[in-house]
Amino acid sequence: MTFENKVVWITGASSGIGKELALTLSKTNCNLILSSRRKDELERVKSACNNTENIKVLAFDLSHYANMKTIVEDAVKAFGKIDLLINNGGISQRSPIIDTTIEVDKKLMEVDYLGTVALSKALLTHFIENQSGHYVVVSSLMGKFSSPFRSAYCGAKHALHGFFDALRLEHDKDNIKVTMICPGFVNTNVARNALTADGSKQGYQDNMTENGLPVNVFVKRMVRAIEKEKYEAYIGKFEKFGVFVKRLSPKLLHKLVLKSRVR
């Protein structure tokens, strides 16, 4: 596929991967809808983009998933259709299971899983009517295997794979595509904004994230995976090989992850 003349809707577009996607795709001949909770930040991102006349801002909160039908209606009105929904919005978590309140688990599921699923379901009728559509879901390598101190995050990301694999199967007949993007460590503020055991933000960067892929490098690889309509893309440094190690030997991966002591 190509982004030429497409309408692309990006959630989580106010920072990190979403912001870089907006900057990158604004250089192509496509229309963009940028979404996140913070309208002021979205406007700043829009101002930094090329072809701002082809960009609309639509602020909403993924955790308010009962409102998604209205949100989708507003998005479709912006340019008359949606071709791609890039589900990038979400939060991470860093805390031991034994200390993590159930409210934190609930928050991760509401934002990372239920919000994304509700938005995608609300858009599904539009895709079926057009007999065309492409869901891109920014999951994580943690959606394929787990790591200590990320239990709620891993649970939500694993759930996304289960849902969207089923959606791909059910709507193959409607020419609806699904691409799961699985980042490893990417140098964004994801660790700083991660929730800790009591729901407060971690507030600092970790070494693995700091030394992860530069966000512009990651986004270039992500865009190529979308254009190739890949089912899944694992994008990172050495950590991406954990997906393949798990297929061969879950016990070996267990030992390797413990040895790395990723925190």
pLDDT above 70: residue 123? yes
pLDDT above 70: residue 66? yes
Instruction: Give percent of the chain with pLDDT exceeding 90.
Output: 91
* Per-residue pLDDT, 262: 46
* Per-residue pLDDT, 138: 98
Q: What is the pLDDT of residues 30-55, one digit of tens each?
A: 999 999 999 999 999 999 999 999 99
Q: Where are the domains of the chain?
A: 7-260
Q: Is 153 a catalytic residue?
A: yes
* 60 backbone dihedrals φ, ψ, rounded to 5°: -165, 165
Q: Which among 62-66, 85-89, 186-190, 199-203 has the top mean pLDDT?
A: 85-89
Mean pLDDT of 6-19: 97
pTM, two decimals, is 0.95
When pLDDT is cut at 50, 70 and 90, the band that residue 205 belongs to is confident
pLDDT above 60: residue 151? yes
Query: Choosing from 153, 204, 231, 234, which is the catalytic residue?
Result: 153
Q: What is the pLDDT of residues 67-86, one digit of tens each?
A: 999 999 999 999 999 999 99
* Per-residue pLDDT, 94: 96
Per CATH, is 7-260 categorized as 3.40.50.720? yes
Q: What is the pLDDT of residues 92-114, one digit of tens each?
A: 999 999 999 999 999 999 999 99
* Per-residue pLDDT, 242: 94
The CA-CA-CA angle for residues 113, 2, 87, to 5°, reads 10
* Per-residue pLDDT, 207: 86
Mean pLDDT of 185-199: 93
When pLDDT is cut at 50, 70 and 90, the band that residue 261 belongs to is low
